[in-house]
A and B are shown apart, each in its own frame.
Chain A
């Protein structure tokens, strides 16, 4: 089996879905680095996954992880509604039904922070459009642990508040347009 130590985390809120879809439409079918996507969404709505699956390509391996499921290469994971999604040191997912953080569950901060602790420099975290402050702390943790932190440029964001807050707090984060983000992901893949 092909091995990769790397991993990608993507967090988005209002206005981020089109960018996520754009990434998923263009990503190489050989992209083996696992991607973990955390999107804010309405409570008790049927899974966002179904929607994403229905409008993206059928060759992508998209999945809402179950608790304690190992992180596999080649998979794109979507955080399930109403849970925080964490990754444990043994590289298995762990779900958490504790209080929302910054009014959000799943919280981007929680996932970024937990993945930063486990993956360190192997993590690339990408924060997209949104109208709140989630992700700002998470990006800080990613940088502290030596990971690559990328924030969607506010001018290209439908809702610039979230990326702008993250950039203000984290001058070391890379500010990128969606096209640059896609380019970055392409060169990250070993094939």
Chain B
């Protein structure tokens, strides 16, 4: 598939379905398109175009598949332990804490954060607004179900973050699944929000958005970082993926680095 053909798909998705992927990172976007073609055994570019125009259900499925929903609990334990030691103590001084988790996928990181808040005694005063473009991922996130085969790995990551409790106290095991405890689930509101077009909807003391900006080019990264800046309370915190940088955004000087190795920043005023 040529780059021009990928551009045609992007145009078509925008025109027919209102999803604008034109500012996504081209190299990984193209890999995604090729993957959907292979998974759905689509013969060629024309069949793909035809299906995207004429099969509404397929088009919806395509958009879900194009986004990368891979995630885990307590990925990058250093990030989560830095949140615990360098961010939560400051959040503790607020009577009520509002957090935006953008690009939350199926919720694993949201529940990881809820566990940290619980252990810091802050969960009851906290509300996490978790958003994603992908509604299928959000539906899964709401249920709080994790595959029991992953629990061992998550337990190890949890321990690496310095977790104080028995990880198994945070879920109920049922057959092949582990279901996140209700008190953790109740602290979260999941809703759809598209970082490409949607705006600010509240003011937060902490925004987490990890491994989402990597899918965007610099233009869109810039837009989103401005949106985050405008959605943060003065001196609010922002946590990004550990390989994501604010260096290329016009707004970089309006943030201080709290921890540059795990990419935690703070709005200056």
- List the interface of chain A (C-beta within 8 A of B): 44, 64-69, 80, 82-84, 86-89, 94-99, 110, 114, 117
Chain A neighbourhood of B197, CB < 8 A: none
Q: B-side interface residues toward A, CB under 8 Å?
A: 3, 25-28, 31-32, 68, 70, 75-77, 157, 160, 211, 213-215, 217-218, 221, 241-245, 247-248
User: Which residue of A66, A83, A99 is within 8 Å of B245 (Cβ)?
Assistant: A66
Binding site secondary structure of chain A: loop
- Taking CB as reference atom, which chain A residue is nearest B244? A67
Pair B244/A87 contact, Cβ less than 8 Å: no
Contact B221 A68, beta carbon cutoff 8 Å? yes
Contact A67 B27 (CB under 8 A): no
Say how far B225's CB is from chain A's closest CB, in angstroms.
12
Residue pair B27, A95 in contact (C-beta under 8 Å): no
Given A68-B221, A87-B27, A88-B27, answer yes or no on A98-B70 (Cβ-Cβ < 8 Å): yes
B27 and A94 within 8 A (CB): yes
Query: Contact check: which of B26, B214, B217 meets A97 at CB < 8 Å?
Result: B214
Q: Which residue of the partner chain A has the closest CB to B32?
A: A98
Complex Cα gap A117–B248 (Å): 24
Residues of B within 8 A of A98 (CB): 28, 31-32, 68, 70
Decide if A89 touches B26 in the complex (CB within 8 Å): yes
CB pair B214 A80 closer than 8 Å: no
Residue of B nearest to A64 (CB): B243
Contact at B247–A94, with CB atoms within 8 Å? no
* The residue from B31, B76, B217 contacting A96, defined by CB atoms under 8 A apart: B31
- Is B243 a contact of A80 with CB atoms below 8 Å? yes
CB-CB under 8 A from A69, the residues of chain B are 245, 247
Residue in B70, B160, B243 whose CB lies within 8 Å of A67 = B243
Q: Residues of B contacting A94 with CB < 8 Å?
A: 25, 27-28, 214
Residue of B nearest to A46 (CB): B78
Q: Are B28 and A96 in contact (CB under 8 A)?
A: yes
Query: Which B residues lie within 8 Å of A82 (CB)?
Result: 75
What 7 pairs between A and B have smallest CB-CB spacing? Answer: A66-B245, A86-B27, A96-B28, A98-B68, A94-B25, A95-B214, A67-B214
Inter-chain CA distance A69–B241, complex, in Å, is 14
Residue among B28, B32, B211 with the highest chain A CB neighbour number at 10 A: B28
Q: Say whether, besides A44-B157, A87-B27, A68 and B245 are in contact (CB < 8 Å).
A: yes
For the complex formed, measure the closest distance between the CB of B10 and the CB atoms of chain A, giving whole angstroms. Answer: 15
CB contacts (< 8 Å) of B241 on chain A: these are 67, 97
- How far is the CB of A37 from the nearest CB of chain B, in Å? 16
- When distances are taken between beta carbons in the complex, the residues of chain A under 8 Å from B245 are 66-69
Residues of B with C-beta under 8 A to A95: 214, 243
Q: Which residue of B lies closest to A93 (CB)?
A: B243
What are 8 A-B pairs at a CB distance below 8 A? A44-B76, A68-B221, A82-B75, A86-B28, A88-B27, A89-B27, A97-B70, A98-B70
Q: Which residue of A lies closest to B215 (CB)?
A: A96
User: Please, which residues of chain B bring their CB within 8 A of the CB of A44?
Assistant: 75-77, 157, 160
Question: In chain B, what residue has the closest Cβ to A114?
Answer: B27
How far is the CB of B157 from the nearest CB of chain A, in Å?
A: 7
A residues within 8 A CB of B157? 44
Please name 19 further chain A to chain B contacts, defined as beta carbons within 8 Å, in addition to the given A83-B243, A96-B31, A114-B27, sorted by A numbering: A44-B76, A44-B77, A64-B243, A67-B241, A67-B243, A67-B244, A68-B217, A68-B248, A80-B242, A80-B243, A84-B28, A86-B28, A94-B25, A96-B27, A97-B211, A97-B214, A98-B28, A98-B70, A110-B31
